[in-house]
């Protein structure tokens, strides 16, 4: 007895009607917000920078925050708060050296996710300065605590951009200066090291 052919199931029918088309692009457009701040002149007390703090803390992953720097440094505590907010931000933070960044401003520059250097600029690193008050034993304790604190900050923020020898010399009182050419040379060296590390992790040969 002849039996009629069975009807194809839905999965087979779909495969016949929609052949594989190779590589397909899937696109998603997200809003990008760009915000710029200009860190110019002396770095003052923290209350002058609350808008910057809030912007960094409330930013999303698609935001870009540009910090243009031309500063001789200033309040150490304010600088650390700016740096900690940069590290905590979901945004991509781009620090741009436009003339000079000395002392605390140099540390802020090094804290960006992306660092841009214009021509004819300078960085300068040196040890902290301050005024200590109170009884002699209190001043000695404060000097020791601040010294240990500053040493950790320098090591965490400046290495490997600065060598261990340079950091040690700064802690002894030396100043380290560099111009745009030297800054770019060091940044390129760090970028090559990062690229090599990523290739090594992925099992790819390095040039």
pLDDT for position 136 = 74
Q: How far is CA 26 from CA 42, 43, 63, in A?
A: 48, 46, 22
Q: Is the pLDDT of residue 106 over 60?
A: yes
- Under a CB-based contact definition with an 8 Å cutoff, are residues 180 and 119 in contact? yes
Residue 203 has pLDDT above 70, yes or no: yes
Q: Where are the alpha helices (DSSP H) in 59-179?
A: 76-88, 104-110, 136-158, 164-171
CA torsion angle 164 97 192 171 (round to 10)? 0
User: Cα dist. 188→18, 134, 182 in Å?
Assistant: 49, 47, 10
> In this structure, what token pair is assigned to residue 128?
């902290």
> What is the residue whose two structure tokens read 């741009």?
96
Encoding tokens for residue 68?
């243009």
Rg (CA), the chain: 27
pLDDT over threshold 80, residue 121 = yes
pLDDT in tens, 164-176: 999 999 999 999 9
Q: Does domain 32-127+175-202 have CATH number 3.90.226.10?
A: yes
Q: pTM above the 0.75 mark? A: yes
The single-letter DSSP state of residue 172 is T
Domain ranges of the chain: 32-127+175-202
What does the pLDDT look like over 8-29, one tens digit per residue? 555 555 555 555 567 777 888 8
- Residue-averaged pLDDT of the chain: 87
CA distance 205 to 207: 7
Q: How far apart are CA 58 and CA 54, in angstroms?
A: 6
Give pLDDT, residue 43. Answer: 97
Average the pLDDT over each of 36-50, 59-73, 120-134, 184-198 and give the range with the smallest value: 120-134
């Amino acid at each position: 007895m002849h039996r009629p052919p069975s009807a194809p199931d839905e999965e087979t029918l779909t495969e016949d009607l929609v052949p594989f088309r190779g590589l397909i692009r899937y696109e998603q457009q997200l809003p990008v917000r760009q915000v710029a701040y200009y860190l110019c002149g002396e770095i003052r007390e923290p209350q002058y920078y609350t808008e910057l703090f809030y912007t960094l803390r409330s930013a999303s992953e698609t935001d870009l925050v540009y910090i243009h720097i031309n500063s001789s440094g200033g309040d150490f505590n304010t600088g650390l708060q700016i740096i900690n907010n940069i590290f905590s931000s979901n945004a991509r933070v781009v620090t741009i050296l436009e003339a000079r960044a000395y002392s605390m401003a140099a540390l802020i520059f090094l804290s960006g996710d992306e660092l841009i250097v214009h021509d004819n600029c300078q960085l300068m690193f040196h040890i902290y300065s301050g005024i200590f008050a109170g009884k002699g034993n209190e001043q000695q304790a404060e000097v020791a605590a601040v010294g240990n604190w500053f040493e950790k900050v320098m090591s965490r923020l400046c290495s490997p951009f600065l060598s261990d020898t340079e950091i040690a010399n700064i802690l002894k009182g030396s100043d380290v200066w560099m111009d745009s050419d030297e800054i770019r040379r060091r940044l390129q060296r760090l970028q090559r090291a990062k690229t090599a590390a990523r290739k090594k992790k992925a099992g790819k040969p390095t040039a």
